[in-house]
């Protein structure tokens, strides 16, 4: 299949003005394929040649202005068109194939009740899997969608839908949309509907999840309404579409997709087991993130994919900020969670060879295949951090004024980075263009280190910077009280690089923390005295966001080889049992378990690292025995299970159906424990099958696949490998679950032969199954636990010699760099 280049898109945009699509889909023709017809009305500004895109199972007919076209002329995904100047109609009829990879029209049959659901995910190039289109973001048009669906199904789309005769549903014509925003979701949905601000609102899920959606419906709708109202206080342009539906769909690849009027979410956000408050806050943030896209992305859309940050960075920033403002009575400070768990995604991506600017040069995104690679921690977390720093630098009032200028000038159209910066500059006397060059056009992470000099009653604070960006930061200056707890003496606002050091009165402080409030994007370091104080007194720093900043600094020091992993674990053991902020606990335990224990310590030292994590979990469980902090206790139980090295205790929990002292085991905990028992060789196929009988849901199917792949036998590993790489039967989610169970540090000797087999198998899979499965193979099926020089050399050789698809190549570059870093940390 040919990818669309930027030059081709620009040429076609100069030639065409697309007005309207009339699309008719028939979902009643079988389990493998569906019928698609489309009528496109457009104008050619001059005579010329171009093409329309589609990826059919079979192309039945095509006609331009009523004259048949040669269907055999379809070349890959391109049907050539020769146009005269003026108005045209193009009609195309085709049979299209359902997907099992979350791309195009994905089809899913629920193992719980046998009901079937389909939904579209048409991002980047996947509209071509559903209907013919001039598929690029700057050729917006009106869409009229009609769907014929089986009896008993409900059809959702971007506009309000109505059911007619013979199962035919029609959706209200849309406003001007880019092709990748069209959405259809059809099946026997369970729906909860309401009205807000004069518009119909709805939330939808599979019938088997109905009790769980109903349990959380008030929370989901309350968050949705609160964010909706908050955006209307921020933005002058009203919500631009006729309804607001949110569908929680199965086997969805991203977290969510901002289809106008019909946002789709992965249905793990319909919680069927106990979750923590931070996980509920994450769901709220994703709701707010996608709603922000209704303005930034949907109302005003990027012209080409080099400006994807305009969509994602803005929505990421607004998601955290708006939940913080609109839902403060329900959730704690969202920026603590951003700093403790989300921001590291950006830091890690920005230190790999594959890093790129937040706003890359147009030449760096020459086609859609390269554009797809930029949906990463830089476009999301780093971009949001940059915007947060921009707001701190120019002020929120001017920032929002510039945003509203942008919406007014470009609504229902397309815009570029230059447009956005010009509109911000119109609202402030700050040099926004200079800021953009320094922040959005550069790569890498700056490092800020305080230098403290002086004695007696005078001292001097200087901030040393490694890097090139300007930063506005707050420096917290702390003394210690009689009990050794840090007490804030003062905060000083600093512009880095600053013209002169700060000369301050009073004794030398015990602790200086740069970037209090976490308003900039940079790695933080300590002076020698401050590092000792932080490691000794971290849990007693009074502000949770400051503690998150300190923990992030320690994490970065481990990753950069400046702090021993054992020292980080000692700090965690000393301070996590007294930590009150759940997001901090989850972030620290996640790094300790996922990076330190599995990758950053040697095999000989790993048991001690896991024992340290179990000790922290045990202390947290003792602290939460009274039931006052269920989220903290759940986090501790999960950490204990995941770090178990002997099966007795967790096996007794599994057998009893409860953790001693609570909680009762729900499906998530039962599968988690069984997966760990499988790794330890303390369960078998019969127990897995029995658990699947107990929980035959889609999540249960994934749990069983994960457990089976984790069994430490040659037969289990061979069967798991064959299901992943020798067959294309696994859906995207079942592939991921199998891969998650396959590689385990405890099974290094058993798995060693598969390390060399991975590269040719992954290359072949990526070629066969496309970008989504290539990404899954690179992310989840990579032998990340094989941390040794031979594994690195093997990977580097394959990377140099093999021609991988862009999606897989990018993942291999990142994985090998992480492996290289792990070896450095071990050294």
The answer on pLDDT for 498 being more than 80 is no
Active site residue 579: no
pLDDT tens-digit series, residues 520-535: 999 999 999 999 999 9
Does residue 288 sit in helix, strand or coil?
helix
% of the chain surpassing 90 pLDDT: 96
% of the chain surpassing 70 pLDDT: 100
| In contact, 96 and 153? CB cutoff 8 Å | no
Question: For residue 233, is it within any domain?
Answer: yes
Same domain, 314 and 438: yes
Question: For residue 100, is it within any domain?
Answer: yes
pLDDT tens-digit series, residues 143-179: 999 999 999 999 999 999 999 999 999 999 999 999 9
- E-strand ranges in 98-253 read 104-109, 116-121, 142-148, 154-157, 161-163, 168-171, 184-187, 190-196, 199-205, 244-249
Whose tokens are 């046998």? That residue is 114
Same domain, 83 and 58: yes
Question: For residue 583, is it within any domain?
Answer: no
Rounded Cα distance between 739 and 727, Å, is 14
The answer on pLDDT for 455 being more than 90 is no
pLDDT value of residue 603: 95
Rounded Cα distance between 259 and 261, Å, is 6
pLDDT tens-digit series, residues 97-114: 999 999 999 999 999 999
pLDDT tens-digit series, residues 390-406: 999 999 999 999 999 99
Question: For residue 224, is it within any domain?
Answer: yes
Which of 444, 474, 505 represents a domain boundary (last residue)?
444
What is the arithmetic mean of pLDDT over 554-561? 98
Rounded Cα distance between 617 and 621, Å, is 6
What is the arithmetic mean of pLDDT over 213-221? 98
Same domain, 407 and 453: no
Same domain, 436 and 464: no
Same domain, 417 and 319: yes
pLDDT value of residue 8: 97
Residues in contact with 538: Cβ distance below 8 Å, sequence separation at least 6, in sequence order: 547, 550, 551, 571, 574, 575
List 359's β-bridge partners, or say none: none
Active-site choice (53, 290, 531, 668): 290
Which of 417, 444, 471 represents a domain boundary (last residue)?
444
The answer on pLDDT for 331 being more than 90 is yes
The answer on pLDDT for 1 being more than 80 is no
Respond yes or no on whether the N-terminal peptide bond of residue 335 is cis (omega within 30° of 0). Answer: no
pLDDT-based confidence at 463, cuts 50/70/90?
very high
Nearest by Cα to 724 from 752, 756, 683, 762: 762
Question: For residue 667, is it within any domain?
Answer: no
pLDDT value of residue 628: 87
The answer on pLDDT for 500 being more than 80 is no
Question: For residue 585, is it within any domain?
Answer: no
Does residue 597 sit in helix, strand or coil?
helix
Same domain, 436 and 298: yes
Same domain, 216 and 119: no
CATH number at residue 365: 1.10.390.10
Rounded Cα distance between 29 and 376, Å, is 38
Q: pTM value?
A: 0.97
Same domain, 360 and 452: no
Same domain, 173 and 58: yes
Mean pLDDT over each residue of the chain, to the nearest integer: 96
pLDDT-based confidence at 454, cuts 50/70/90?
confident
Question: For residue 540, is it within any domain?
Answer: yes
Which of 561, 579, 611 represents a domain boundary (last residue)?
561
Same domain, 425 and 380: yes
Q: Which domain holds residue 481?
A: 446-561
List 752's β-bridge partners, or say none: none
For the residues of 319-378, what is the DSSP string, one character each?
HHHHHHHHSTTTS--HHHHIIIIIHHHHHHHHTSTT---SS--GGG--BHHHHGGG-STI
Alpha carbon separation from 494 to 385, 389, 450, 526 (Å, rounded): 18, 13, 11, 16
The answer on pLDDT for 630 being more than 90 is yes
Same domain, 280 and 397: yes
Same domain, 26 and 93: yes
How many separate domains does the chain show?
4
CB neighbourhood size of 679 (10 A): 22
Question: For residue 625, is it within any domain?
Answer: no
DSSP character for 471? Answer: E
pLDDT value of residue 499: 66
Nearest by Cα to 321 from 390, 379, 369: 390
CATH number at residue 176: 2.60.40.1730
pLDDT-based confidence at 193, cuts 50/70/90?
very high
Rounded Cα distance between 775 and 102, Å, is 12
pLDDT tens-digit series, residues 766-818: 999 999 999 999 999 999 999 999 999 999 999 999 999 999 999 999 999 99
CATH number at residue 509: 2.60.40
| In contact, 88 and 41? CB cutoff 8 Å | yes
């Amino acid at each position: 299949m040919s990818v669309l280049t930027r030059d081709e898109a620009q040429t076609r945009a100069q030639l065409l003005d697309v007005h309207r699509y009339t699309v008719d889909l028939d979902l009643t023709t079988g389990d493998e394929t569906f019928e698609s017809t489309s009528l496109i009305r457009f104008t050619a500004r001059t005579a010329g040649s171009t093409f329309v895109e589609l990826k059919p199972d079979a192309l039945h007919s095509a006609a331009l202005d009523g004259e048949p076209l040669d269907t055999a002329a379809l070349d890959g995904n391109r049907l050539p068109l020769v146009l005269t100047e003026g108005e045209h109609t193009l009609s195309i009829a085709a049979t299209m194939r359902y997907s099992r990879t979350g791309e195009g029209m994905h089809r899913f049959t629920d193992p719980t009740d046998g009901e079937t659901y389909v939904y579209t995910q048409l991002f980047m190039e996947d509209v071509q899997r559903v209907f013919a289109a001039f598929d690029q973001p700057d050729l917006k048009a009106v869409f009229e969608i009609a769907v014929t669906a089986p009896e008993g199904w409900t059809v959702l789309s971007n506009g309000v839908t109505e059911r007619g005769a013979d199962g035919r549903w029609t959706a209200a014509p849309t406003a001007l949309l880019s092709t990748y925003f069209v959405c259809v979701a059809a099946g026997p949905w369970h729906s909860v509907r309401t009205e807000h601000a004069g518009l119909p609102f709805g939330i939808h899920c599979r019938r088997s999840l109905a009790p769980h959606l109903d349990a959380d419906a008030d929370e989901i709708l309350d968050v949705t309404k609160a964010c909706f109202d908050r955006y209307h206080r921020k933005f002058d342009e009203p919500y631009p579409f006729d309804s607001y539906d949110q569908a929680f769909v199965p086997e969805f690849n991203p977290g969510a997709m901002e289809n106008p009027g019909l946002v789709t979410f992965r249905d793990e956000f319909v919680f069927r087991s106990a979750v923590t408050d931070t996980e509920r806050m994450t769901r709220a943030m994703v709701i707010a993130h996608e709603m922000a896209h209704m303005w930034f992305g949907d109302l005003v859309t990027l012209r080409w994919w080099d400006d994807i940050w305009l969509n994602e960075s803005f929505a990421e920033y607004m998601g955290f900020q708006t939940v913080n403002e609109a839902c403060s009575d329900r959730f704690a400070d969202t920026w603590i969670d951003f700093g403790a768990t989300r921001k590291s995604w950006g830091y890690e991506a920005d230190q790999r060879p594959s890093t790129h600017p937040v706003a890359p040069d147009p030449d760096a995104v020459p086609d859609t295949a390269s554009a797809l690679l930029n949906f990463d921690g830089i476009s999301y977390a780093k971009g949001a951090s940059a915007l947060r720093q921009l707001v701190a630098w120019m002020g929120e009032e001017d920032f929002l004024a510039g945003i509203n200028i942008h919406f007014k000038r470009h609504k229902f159209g397309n815009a570029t980075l230059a447009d956005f910066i010009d509109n911000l500059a119109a609202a402030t006397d700050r040099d926004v263009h200079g800021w953009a060059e320094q922040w959005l056009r550069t790569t890498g992470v700056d490092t800020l280190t305080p230098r403290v000099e002086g004695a007696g009653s005078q001292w001097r604070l200087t901030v040393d910077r490694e890097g090139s960006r300007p930063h506005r930061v707050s420096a917290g200056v702390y003394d210690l009280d009689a009990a050794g707890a840090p007490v804030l003496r003062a905060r000083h606002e600093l512009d880095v690089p600053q013209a002169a050091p700060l000369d301050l009165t009073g004794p030398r402080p015990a602790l200086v923390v740069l970037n209090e409030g976490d308003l900039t994007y940079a790695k933080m370091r300590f002076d020698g005295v401050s590092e000792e104080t932080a490691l000794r007194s971290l849990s007693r720093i009074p502000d949770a966001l400051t503690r998150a900043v300190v923990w992030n600094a320690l994490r970065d020091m481990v990753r950069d080889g400046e702090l021993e992993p054992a020292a980080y674990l000692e700090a965690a053991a000393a301070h996590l049992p007294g930590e009150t902020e759940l997001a901090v606990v989850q972030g620290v335990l996640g790094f300790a378990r996922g990076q330190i224990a599995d990758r950053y310590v040697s095999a000989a030292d790993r048991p001690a690292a896991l024992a340290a994590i179990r000790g922290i979990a045990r202390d947290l469980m003792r602290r939460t025995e009274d039931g006052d902090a269920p989220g903290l206790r759940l986090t501790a139980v999960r950490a204990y299970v995941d770090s178990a090295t002997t099966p007795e205790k967790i096996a007794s929990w599994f057998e009893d159906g409860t953790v001693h002292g609570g909680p009762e085991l729900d499906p998530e905990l039962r599968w988690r424990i069984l997966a760990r028992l499988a790794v330890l060789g303390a369960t078998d196929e019969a127990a897995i099958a029995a658990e699947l009988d107990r929980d035959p849901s889609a999540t249960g199917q994934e749990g069983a696949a994960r457990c089976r792949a984790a069994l430490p036998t040659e037969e289990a590993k061979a069967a798991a490998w064959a299901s992943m790489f020798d067959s294309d039967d696994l859906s995207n989610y079942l592939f991921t679950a199998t891969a998650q169970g396959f590689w385990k540090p405890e099974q290094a000797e058993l798995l060693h032969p598969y390390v060399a087999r991975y590269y040719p198998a992954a290359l072949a899979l990526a070629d066969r199954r496309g970008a989504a499965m290539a990404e899954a193979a690179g992310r989840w099926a990579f032998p990340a636990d094989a941390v040794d020089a031979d594994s690195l050399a093997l990977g580097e050789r394959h990377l140099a010699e093999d021609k991988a698809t862009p999606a897989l190549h990018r993942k291999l570059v990142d994985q090998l760099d992480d492996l290289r870093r792990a070896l450095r940390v071990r050294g």
